[in-house]
């Protein structure tokens, strides 16, 4: 989908949208952020509904010097102005947080750009390397094109280990990079710990067993796998096992009226859940009065079809499995399945990730805060009016104003 | 004492806390409110102890890993984060009414984790793909986000109920916080959740890139988390740009949580890299 034209077109449209909107707004925000003398509008503070008002025992002049030193410790910018009724301290901080949104939008653009760079200049491919063999080219995913790497990858060894309960514990491939005929780099890779060389990343992704030895391999080729297949049908209801000969493409009737089964093809290396499970027949089972289902019959896993929990369990006869896998355990060879990628856009994407987190934090949890402390002369004393606004999260700002007013009273 | 006993106690305690929060909503006695808070606090402590104990048990089994690796463990952690976030809100906003939606959510998550036949509560070894520190960062941040969205969802429901009853006829509804406060709280929770959901998706893709060599593969879970992200991004834009509030915002928050639920549970029905979650 990522490669389809309409998807890329939508992404392009989205990017243009964000860019245009952001630039449009940015010019206004820019003026606010880079104003030489921040503009304070006293009448706006006066009309705010939430204000903290208390009486100070000194003159406006004296109070303002005390207050200003206190306020300037919390706010980046303060200024004292005379007003028609006395004095006024303006303070503000975090003006720059108005950029937060643009950081977020920039990060989105970086993600899209990184994705684009990756799909234009990178590739995603795979390779299967038998133990002790090497490759110098890979197949590209989806298209199947062949691409040379510029170096060779040798698989020295492949190991798989299991937990006691049979679940896989670790897949480990020992790889050597060979350049101009000389080994230049060695590393054991496991899932989550790839090999990286010259911008190309090699990941452990699957594995499989080789039909051991090239000689036997040829024999298998001579013998057409479509001949002479014995299938086992185990009926769940009666518990009986039926052995029936089958030929690719010819449906067989399953006893006990359990339906029809036909093998449609033979695969040398079938995949299940992203794992290579070796040779398998692919078939279609049509139970009586029900929808047909696709069925995979791996030669080395006779219990595979049990997972389907159908009324009949189908497997390939033992003789058949042996024929295709004549090797003893000792000379069994593995091959390792590798995902091989190059993505020069990753660092653009990662920069976008970091900017996005920073930007979202700024946008949501910081705001441009402005305070106004007006001190009005009333006979001997002064009346102090504390108010404040912020461009976001006004509730929190009100609490802030309250707290600051309480501190000022006690100064 | 083992972790499953502790987690059973947790389930029970959350149920009890939910009962007390409802009781305090109806009778409005300060004592029931206090009792509710203390019960929730006890529950979350036992919950956390259970998680830590399970962690230690996994080491005793020789397969040590953080207890964040399957559906069961994630639900347990989910309940814990819901209650922690809720208790912080209760302290900060001095209102215990939201407890009546937060504790039932945590209780349901725990009960579902322990009772559902599809969920395996045994400590299992990690399959190779999950052996990564990114797993821990990914799960913790995602679930902080989900928990905040869950609470936002609860508050939005309260908001809608309260809106219905404008004359204050139903007695216990009149104890709800003011609509304006509920509305603002939803917004706060969504902002918090959005930050963590974003970090969750990001850590997930960094992890995918280190395990499979591709930071985004459009598997169903990834796609749905992106859809969820877009729903909440819409929420935030509607609020900040269009000045939406009240009912429309409450509906968006509910929609967002539906997307969260689908990302969390529904996607396990589809095949993909994340389907281990169903185990
Ligand atoms: C990650 C989260 C995001 C946050 C926190 C965020 C925040 C914001 C904010 C605060 C604004 C108002 C800008 C202003 O007042 O100048 C805005 C506008 C906008 N955002 Fe986002 N945004 C986010 C992601 C996105 C995404 C993913 C898109 C597109 C897919 C997007 C598209 C837009 C557009 C089109 C506008 C309107 C711009 C305008 O009319 O000036 N934003 N956003």
Q: In A273-332, where do the E strands start and end?
A: 275-286, 293-298, 312-316
Per-residue pLDDT, B104:
92
How many angstroms separate the first and last alpha carbons of chain A?
Answer: 65
Low-confidence ranges of chain B (pLDDT < 70): 165-175, 267-279
Q: Is A194 on the interface with B (CB under 8 A)?
A: yes
Instruction: From chain B, pick out residues whose CB is under 8 angstroms from the CB of A1.
Output: 218
The CA distance from B200 to B197, in Å, is: 5
Q: Which atom of ligand 1 is nearest to the CA of A26?
A: 16
Q: Is A168 on the interface with B (CB under 8 A)?
A: yes
Are B261 and B226 in the same domain?
Answer: yes
Are B65 and B134 in the same domain?
Answer: no
What does the angle CA A362 – CA A366 – CA A386 come to, to the nearest 5 degrees? 165
The CA distance from B268 to B276, in Å, is: 8
Of B101, B126, B151, the last residue of a domain is: B126
Instruction: From chain B, pick out residues whose CB is under 8 angstroms from the CB of A169.
Output: 125, 128
Sign of the torsion angle spanned by Cα atoms A67, A71, A72, A76: negative
- What ipTM was estimated for this complex? 0.86
Are B133 and B91 in the same domain?
Answer: no
Strands of A123-130's sheet in order across: A182-190, A168-179, A146-162, A133-140, A123-130, A333-342, A200-210, A195-197
Of B107, B126, B145, the last residue of a domain is: B126
Residue A299 sits at φ, ψ, to 5 deg, of -65, -30
Other beta carbons within 10 Å of A12: 12
| Ligand 1, CB within 6 Å, residue ranges | A 14, 17-18, 21, 24-25, 101, 104-105, 108, 360, 363; B 233, 236-237, 240-241
Of B126, B149, B164, the last residue of a domain is: B126
Q: Which atom of ligand 1 is nearest to the CA of A18?
A: 35
Per-residue pLDDT, A347:
93
Are B120 and B104 in the same domain?
Answer: yes
- Between the alpha carbon of residue A7 and those of residues A1, A12, A19, A135, B202, the distances in Å are 7, 9, 18, 34, 21
Per-residue pLDDT, B168:
59
Spatial CA neighbour of A60 closest among A44, A90, A92, A82: A82
* DSSP state for residue A193 in the 8-state scheme: B
DSSP bridge partners of B5: none
Are B60 and B186 in the same domain?
Answer: no
Q: Say how many CB pairs under 8 Å bridge A and B.
A: 74
Grouped pLDDT means (10 residues each) for chain A, 411 residues: 68 84 82 76 80 80 82 85 83 87 90 87 85 84 79 85 76 88 86 86 82 45 57 84 83 87 83 73 85 83 76 76 46 79 92 95 89 83 84 80 83 74
Are B121 and B99 in the same domain?
Answer: yes
The CA distance from B184 to B246, in Å, is: 9
Compute the radius of gyration of chain A from its Cα atoms. 37
CA distance B15 to chain A (A): 33
CA distance A170 to chain B (A): 5
Q: Does the pTM exceed 0.80?
A: no
Q: Do A170 and B209 touch (CB under 8 A)?
A: no
Q: Do B128 and A115 touch (CB under 8 A)?
A: no
Q: Do B212 and A203 touch (CB under 8 A)?
A: yes
Residues 6+ apart with CB under 8 A from A277: A208, A270, A271, A298, A300, A301, A304
Are B61 and B112 in the same domain?
Answer: yes
Token pair recorded at residue B182 = 């509920």
Spatial CA neighbour of A160 closest among A147, A150, A169: A169
As for how many domains chain B has, the answer is 2
**H/E stretch holding A290:** none
Are B217 and B240 in the same domain?
Answer: yes
Yes or no: say if B124 and B70 are a contact pair by the CB < 8 Å rule.
Answer: yes
pLDDT in tens, B197-233: 999 999 999 988 888 888 888 878 888 899 999 999 9
Q: Do B128 and A395 touch (CB under 8 A)?
A: no
Q: How many distinct helices (H) and strands (E) make up chain A?
A: 8, 20
Instruction: From chain B, pick out residues whose CB is under 8 angstroms from the CB of A124.
Output: 213-214
Are B162 and B269 in the same domain?
Answer: yes
Q: Each residue of B232-255: b (16+ CB within 10 Å) or e? A: bbebbeebeeeebbeeebbebbbb
Restricting to A residues 245-304, those with a Cβ less than 8 Å away from any Cβ of B are: 273-274
Interface test with A, best of B124, B128, B241 (most A CBs within 10 A): B128
Per-residue pLDDT, B268:
63
The pick from A16, A31, A104 for probing ligand 1's pocket by mutation, whose C-beta has the most ligand atoms within 8 angstroms, reads A104
The CA distance from B50 to B69, in Å, is: 15
CA distance B119 to chain A (A): 18
- Residues in B whose CB is inside 8 Å of some CB of A read 63, 124-125, 127-129, 131-132, 184, 191-192, 194-195, 198-199, 202, 205-206, 209-216, 218, 240, 271, 273
Nearest to B191 among A165, A353, A364 (CB): A364
Nearest to B125 among A169, A201, A349 (CB): A169
Provide the CB-side half-sphere exposure for A154 (13 A, CA). Answer: 12
Are B121 and B141 in the same domain?
Answer: no
The CA distance from A68 to A119, in Å, is: 57
Spatial CA neighbour of B147 closest among B178, B190, B205: B190
Which structural domain range is residue B276 located in? 127-279
Are B169 and B254 in the same domain?
Answer: yes
Are B24 and B120 in the same domain?
Answer: yes
The CA distance from B12 to B48, in Å, is: 15
The CA distance from A35 to B179, in Å, is: 38
Other beta carbons within 10 Å of B84: 16
The CA distance from A207 to A353, in Å, is: 33
Q: Do A357 and B209 touch (CB under 8 A)?
A: no
Collapsed DSSP state (helix, strand, coil) of residue A170: strand
């Amino acid at each position: 989908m990522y490669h389809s034209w309409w998807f890329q077109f939508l992404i392009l449209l989205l990017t243009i949208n964000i860019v245009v909107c952001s630039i449009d707004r940015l010019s206004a925000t820019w003026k606010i952020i880079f104003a030489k003398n921040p503009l304070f509008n006293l009448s706006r503070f006066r009309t705010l509904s939430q204000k903290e008002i208390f009486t100070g025992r000194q003159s406006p002049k004296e109070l303002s010097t005390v207050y200003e030193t206190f306020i300037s410790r919390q706010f980046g910018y303060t200024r004292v102005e005379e007003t028609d009724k006395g004095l006024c301290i303006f303070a503000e901080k975090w003006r720059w947080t108005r950029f937060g949104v643009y950081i977020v939008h920039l990060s989105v653009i970086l993600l899209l750009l990184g994705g684009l760079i990756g799909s234009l200049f990178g590739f995603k491919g795979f390779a299967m390397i038998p133990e002790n063999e090497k490759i110098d080219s890979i197949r590209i995913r989806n298209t199947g094109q062949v691409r040379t790497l510029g170096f060779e990858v040798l698989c020295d060894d492949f190991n798989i280990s299991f937990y006691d309960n049979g679940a896989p514990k670790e897949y480990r491939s020992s790889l050597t990079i060979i350049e101009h005929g000389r080994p230049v780099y060695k590393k054991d890779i496991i899932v989550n710990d790839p090999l990286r060389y010259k911008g190309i990343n090699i990941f452990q992704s699957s594995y499989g067993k080789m039909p051991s030895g090239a000689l036997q391999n040829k024999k298998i080729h001579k013998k057409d796998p479509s001949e002479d297949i014995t299938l086992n049908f185990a009926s769940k209801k009666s518990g009986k096992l039926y052995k029936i000969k089958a030929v690719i493409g010819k449906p067989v009737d399953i006893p006990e009226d359990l339906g029809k089964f036909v093998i449609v093809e033979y695969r040398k290396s079938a995949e299940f859940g992203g794992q290579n499970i070796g040779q398998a027949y692919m078939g279609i089972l049509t139970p009586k009065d029900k929808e047909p289902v696709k069925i995979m019959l791996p030669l080395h896993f006779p219990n595979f079809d049990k997972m389907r929990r159908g009324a009949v369990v189908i497997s390939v006869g033992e003789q058949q499995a042996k024929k295709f896998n004549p090797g003893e355990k000792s000379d069994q060879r593995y091959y390792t399945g590798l995902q091989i990628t190059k993505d020069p856009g990753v660092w653009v994407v990662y920069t976008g990730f970091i900017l996005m987190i920073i930007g979202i934090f700024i946008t949501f949890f910081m705001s441009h805060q402005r305070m106004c402390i007006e001190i009005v002369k009333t006979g001997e004393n002064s009346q102090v009016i504390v108010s404040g606004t912020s461009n976001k999260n006004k509730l929190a700002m009100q609490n802030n104003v309250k707290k600051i007013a309480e501190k000022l009273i006690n100064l | 004492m083992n972790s499953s006993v502790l987690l059973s106690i947790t389930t029970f305690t959350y149920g009890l806390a939910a009962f007390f929060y409802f009781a305090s909503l109806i009778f409005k006695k300060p004592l029931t409110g206090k009792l509710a808070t203390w019960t929730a606090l006890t529950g979350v402590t036992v919950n956390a102890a259970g998680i830590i104990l399970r962690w230690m048990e996994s080491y005793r089994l020789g397969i040590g890993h953080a207890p964040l690796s399957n559906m069961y463990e994630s639900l347990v952690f989910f309940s814990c984060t819901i209650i922690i976030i809720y208790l912080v809100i209760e302290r900060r906003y001095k209102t215990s009414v939201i407890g009546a939606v937060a504790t039932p959510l945590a209780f349901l998550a725990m009960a579902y984790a322990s009772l559902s036949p599809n969920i395996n509560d045994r400590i299992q070894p990690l399959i190779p793909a999950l052996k990564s520190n990114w797993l821990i960062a990914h799960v913790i941040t995602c679930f902080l986000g989900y928990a905040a969205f869950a609470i936002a969802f609860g508050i939005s429901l309260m908001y809608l109920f309260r809106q219905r009853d404008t004359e204050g006829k139903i007695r216990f509804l009149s104890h709800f916080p003011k609509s304006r406060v509920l509305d603002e709280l939803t917004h706060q929770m969504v902002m918090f959740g959005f930050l963590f959901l974003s970090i969750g998706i990001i850590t997930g893709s960094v992890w995918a890139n280190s395990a499979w060599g591709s930071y985004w593969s459009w598997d169903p879970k990834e796609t749905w988390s992106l859809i969820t992200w877009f729903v909440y991004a819409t929420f935030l834009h509607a609020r900040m740009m269009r000045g939406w509030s009240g009912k429309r915002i409450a509906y968006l928050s509910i929609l967002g949580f539906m997307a969260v639920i689908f990302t969390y549970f529904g996607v396990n029905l589809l095949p993909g890299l994340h389907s281990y979650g169903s185990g």
